[in-house]
Amino acid sequence: MTDRNTLRRTGLYVSASSPVNMAQAPFYNEDMLIYDLEDSVPKSEKDAARLLIYHTVKYHRPKDKEVVIRVNGIDTIYFDQDMECAVRAMPDTIRLPKVESAAEVEQVSALMDRLEKQAGIPAGSINLICNIESFQGILNAQEIAAASPRNVALALSAEDFTASMKMERTKAGLEIFYARNVLVLACRAAGIQALDVVFSDINDLDGLREDSRMTKNMGFDGKTVIHPRQIDIVNSFFTPSEKEIRHALRVLAAIEEGRRQGKGAVSLDGNMIDEPIVLRAQNTVARAKAAGIKVGGER
C-alpha cells in the first residue's frame, strides 16, 4: 500500500485493451502505472479488459511502481464489476473518474470497505485518486478531497472540464488556470497530492516542458502522461534539481546552527529564514530522497 507522501511525479495511462502496451509499460520510468478500463477501452472489450487487468495485477504485478486501476464511472453499467475486479486484484490505488461530490467518494469508499472484507483484504488497504472532470467537481473540490481517508490525490482532467464549461481547450491553458488553482488549494487543505492534466500533443516536447514548468510552480506534485516519451521530461521537472537540493541543505544547516547557538532569528545570505522557507527546504529534501537521490553525503 502506498500513502499520501508517495512520489507521484508521473502516472502513465495504459489501455487494458492492449496486451502489448500493458506488457511494455512497466519498463519505463513512471511512478504510477495506471491500467485503464474507462475511455481507452471500447464497450465491446470491457469484459476482456477487466479479466486481463485482474490477472496482470494479481499475478504479474510490476515492481517498484504504484499500481493503479482506473475504473469506469459510478453512473455506468460497468462500475460494479470494475470495482469488484479491481479490489480483488489488490492494486495500490483505484482511480475514480468524473467525481462531482463528496457523497460519491463516501459511497465508493463504503463499497470498497465491503469488497475488501468479502475478499479477506485488510480494511483500508486500497487508496483512491479522484479525477475532477467538470465544473461541478471543481466547485466541490475541497469537500471531495476531504471525503475519505482513502484519498491520496485529486487529478484534473482538462478536456472534460473545458467541455463542461463550453470552453475551447488550448495548449497555453489559460482557460484552466483557475481550475488548477482550486484543485491545488483543495489538495493542500486536505493534505493530499495534486496531479495535473494530460498534455495531449505527444510530439510537442517543448510545449510539455513549458507546461510542466508552470504547473510545478503552481504547486502540483505530478502529472498524468499518455505516452512513454513524456515520462522523463515530466519527472525532471517534479524532481528537485541539484541547485534546489544544495540550497535546501544550506537552509536546514543554518537553522540547526542557529538552534545550537540559541539564536531566535537566523539568516542565510542576508535573508531571514522563516518557517515557510524551512518547510520548503524539508519538502525539497524529502522529494529528492524519494526520487532516489543521495542527499547530504548519504551513502
Percent pLDDT > 90 in the chain is 77
Percent pLDDT > 70 in the chain is 98
* Domains of the chain: residue spans and CATH: 10-237 (3.20.20.60), 242-290 (no CATH)
Is the predicted pLDDT of residue 3 greater than 80, yes or no? no
Torsion of CA 103, 108, 109, 111, to 10 degrees: 130
Is the predicted pLDDT of residue 155 greater than 70, yes or no? yes
Range with lowest mean pLDDT among 128-132, 145-149, 181-185, 289-293:
289-293
Which pTM value belongs to this model? 0.89
For position 262, what pLDDT does the model report? Answer: 82
Torsion of CA 13, 17, 23, 25, to 10 degrees: -10
What does residue 252 show for φ and ψ, rounded to 5 degrees?
A: -65, -35
Is the predicted pLDDT of residue 286 greater than 90, yes or no? no
Among 193, 178, 237, 170, which residue's Cα sits nearest to residue 95?
193
Q: How far apart are CA 54 and CA 135, in angstroms?
A: 33
In this predicted model, what pLDDT tens digit does every residue of 158-187 receive, in sequence order? 999 999 999 999 999 999 999 999 999 999
Q: What is the mean pLDDT of the chain?
A: 93
Q: How far apart are CA 66 and CA 32, in angstroms?
A: 5
In this predicted model, what pLDDT tens digit does every residue of 136-148 receive, in sequence order? 999 999 999 999 9
Q: How far apart are CA 165 and CA 18, in angstroms?
A: 32
For position 291, what pLDDT does the model report? Answer: 79
For position 298, what pLDDT does the model report? Answer: 63
Q: How far apart are CA 145 and CA 121, in angstroms?
A: 24
